[in-house]
Copies of this chain bind each other. A is one copy, B any other.
Amino acid sequence: MITVLAGGVGAARFLRGLVTIVDPATITAVVNTGDDSLINGLRVSPDLDTVTYTVAGAIDAERGWGLGDESWRVMESLGRYASVRPDASDAANTWFNLGDRDLATHLYRTARLHEGATLSAVTDEIRRAWGLRIGLVPMTDDRFETMIEIVEESGFRTVPFQEYFVGLRHGVPVRSIGFAGAESARPNFLPLVNESEAIVIAPSNPLVSIGPIRALAGVDDSLAANRERVVAISPIIAGAAIKGPADRMLGELGMEASAVGVARLYAPVCGTLVIDAQDAHLASAVEAEGVRCIVTDTIMSTPGVAGDLARVTLAAVLEKGR
């Protein structure tokens, strides 16, 4: 059994590689739900859908999110209502662009949740509908909201993650990150961590993708207890994130935007860090953080590279375990 702690795009690409080198039925992805939002009354789970669509080979490769062969009729039509909603309303929200094909997923999820199904149950139904053989588990079925305190000219303001990430295009400085609901939300996956031969922390944003998963009660303790079987892949390469604001966020929050900074963040819960060949010179600094360091190509430009990365990543901990 292999457990992968996952955010969005980076994790999804890693999983697409992983399924090519081990039996998908042995893999379970535990996915961040801190970004989940109510958009136009619909329950949107961005990371779950990115993983599902990517592993299914249905993601829009160019855009990096949503489905290929997409159209935008509903969103275009929704624009009509933006002019009549009251100022305080978020209805006819068109900054969060949902494609027509994608909308079907949100409609299905929302209707099932209305019927009383858990997010876990609905996620598994959606997984099966897309023919995925890996397991897919939302990190929690409970309310959990990643909140971003942003810096504006007029002062500080705290907004839900998607408003920062999509609405503001993560173009504003971050002052702090909070997790509403973290105290009471129950993790769905602690037994998995204890039973897995390898626990992979995917190359996702350590603060807002992996951070929420780690913020759930008992998760860091479970990972620490299994630290020798935990391996992470640095999402920071040559000081920058491939995608998204991880590098800026680390800097703004006083951390080092480098593989070494990632090692420092993960050291309590993770025995091994995989870093990119471009960062080979940082290997000893990583190891100085008390983390074993593996150097390889981590830019998953093709599923082949992702497969190679998955092989190297797994080998690092499976060898240790034997």
Contact = CB atoms under 8 A, between A and B. Distances in A.
A98 B80 CA distance: 18
A112 interface: yes
Contacts of A89: 111-112, 115, 117
8 contacts: A41-B111, A41-B113, A78-B107, A78-B108, A84-B125, A91-B111, A92-B108, A93-B111
A77 B92 contact: no
A42 interface: yes
A71 interface: yes
A90 B77 contact: no
A74 interface: yes
Contacts of A75: 104
A92 B108 CA distance: 6
A305 interface: no
Majority secondary structure, A binding face: helix
A315 interface: no
Given A100-B100, A101-B73, A91 B115 contact: yes
A77 B67 CA distance: 11
A132 to B, nearest CB: 11
A113 B71 CA distance: 27
Nearest to A83: B129
Contact of A114 (B41, B71, B77, B125): B41
Nearest to A89: B115
Interface string A15-47: 000000000000000000000001011100000
A85 interface: yes
B71 A107 contact: no
A50 interface: no
Given A73-B73, A74-B103, A100-B100, A80 B129 contact: yes
B101 A115 contact: no
Contacts of A92: 108, 111
Interface in A95-128: 100-105, 107-108, 110-115, 117, 125-126, 128
Interface residues of A, number: 41
Contacts of A73: 71, 73, 100-101
Contact of A101 (B40, B77, B86, B113): B77
Contact of A108 (B91, B108, B126): B91
Contacts of A111: 40-41, 89-93
A121 to B, nearest CB: 8
Nearest to A81: B108
A101 B92 CA distance: 13
Given A41-B110, A107-B42, A74 B100 contact: yes
A85 B112 contact: yes
Contact of A103 (B91, B103, B129, B130): B103
B85 A101 contact: no
B74 A128 contact: no
Contact of A81 (B74, B83, B113, B126): B126
Contact of A78 (B78, B104, B113): B104
Contacts of A101: 73-74, 77
